[in-house]
Amino acid sequence: MAGKLKGKTAFVTGASSGLGLADVIEFVKEDAETVIMVSRNPKKLQEVAMIASEYGNSRILTYQLDVAREDDWRKVTELLNDKVDKLDVLVNNAGINKRDSFRDCTLKDWNRIISINQTSVFLGMKYCLDLLKKSNNASIINLSSITGLTGYFAVAYTASKWAVRGMTKSAAMEFGKFGIRVNSIHPGFINTPLNESIKDLIDATKGMNPLGRAGESMEIAKAVTFLASDDSSYMTGAELVLDGGLTSGGQFKIIADQFNIY
């Protein structure tokens, strides 16, 4: 039944595609009062905001915001003070990936990935805090990854996603007294534009995955909505893994298949 986010104001970064856009659509379907969509490309943002608005009656606000730029966070949160009286949900979703080994990762690429995937989450929580405090019942959802739980062959991406997982727990400790919950989401391989170029790699992981397939954006958005809603009212500092079971022992599944154990 719709209505899980009734009366809530939500802020989603990287909202113009993939998981961020799916979150926005799900929030609108669940009757959020206001959804604030931010991303780097204002034209694309306008286009997808039109699409999202067809799913319900939420007020949708869009702002250009590069998550790695402190000035952008300062500017947008100042503008928001005149538009909303509180924030109930912050989804730190924007991110990029570049699969470089230690040998190939340049310092320039390292700094770019860390600033967009990691520093952004710090800035997002820091600059939205005052508005989130006004909710008395807010929820922050930080997009980590299964690569925030294991090693992976993309060193900077992996480092950034472990950092997001750690920062989430620090924030949960610090913000609990304001009624703000903070949790991390850990998707496995999901069909989004981020993974367009690695379809072969994703196919190769299917044998390790108990559900035998990649995930879809809406399957992650439903979990983000659960964390955004009051249904998760006693959950903070936690990790929600949505990977079809990949990290539950995928390597053993391959062995089991090979030796006909099941």
Ligand X SMILES: NC(=O)c1ccc[n+]([C@@H]2O[C@H](COP(=O)([O-])OP(=O)(O)OC[C@H]3O[C@@H](n4cnc5c(N)ncnc54)[C@H](O)[C@@H]3O)[C@@H](O)[C@H]2O)c1
Residues with a known catalytic role:
157
Record the tokens describing residue 106, joined without a space. 């340049």
| Interacting residues with ligand X (CB under 6 A) | 13-14, 16-20, 39-40, 66-68, 93-97, 116, 143, 145, 187, 189-190, 192-195
* Of residues 48 and 87, the one with the C-beta less far from ligand X: 48
Record the tokens describing residue 222, joined without a space. 């439903």
Rounded to whole angstroms, the Cα distance separating 79 from 213 reads: 42
- Least distance from ligand X to the Cβ atom of residue 261, Å: 29
Phi-psi region of 62 (alpha: psi -120 to 50; beta: other; left: phi over 0): beta
DSSP secondary structure letters along 197-248: GGHHHHHHHGGG-TT-S-EEHHHHHHHHHHHHSGGGTT--S-EEEESTTGGG
* Of residues 13 and 139, the one with the C-beta less far from ligand X: 13
* Of residues 19 and 135, the one with the C-beta less far from ligand X: 19
Rounded to whole angstroms, the Cα distance separating 174 from 169 reads: 9
- Least distance from ligand X to the Cβ atom of residue 112, Å: 9
Rounded to whole angstroms, the Cα distance separating 82 from 123 reads: 20
Rounded to whole angstroms, the Cα distance separating 109 from 195 reads: 18
* Of residues 136 and 197, the one with the C-beta less far from ligand X: 197
- Least distance from ligand X to the Cβ atom of residue 39, Å: 5
| 164 neighbors 144 (Cβ within 8 angstroms) | yes
Rounded to whole angstroms, the Cα distance separating 159 from 8 reads: 33
Q: In sequence order, which residues have a C-beta less than 8 Å from that of residue 157 and are 6 or more positions away?
A: 97, 98, 99, 113, 117, 145, 147
* Of residues 69 and 86, the one with the C-beta less far from ligand X: 69
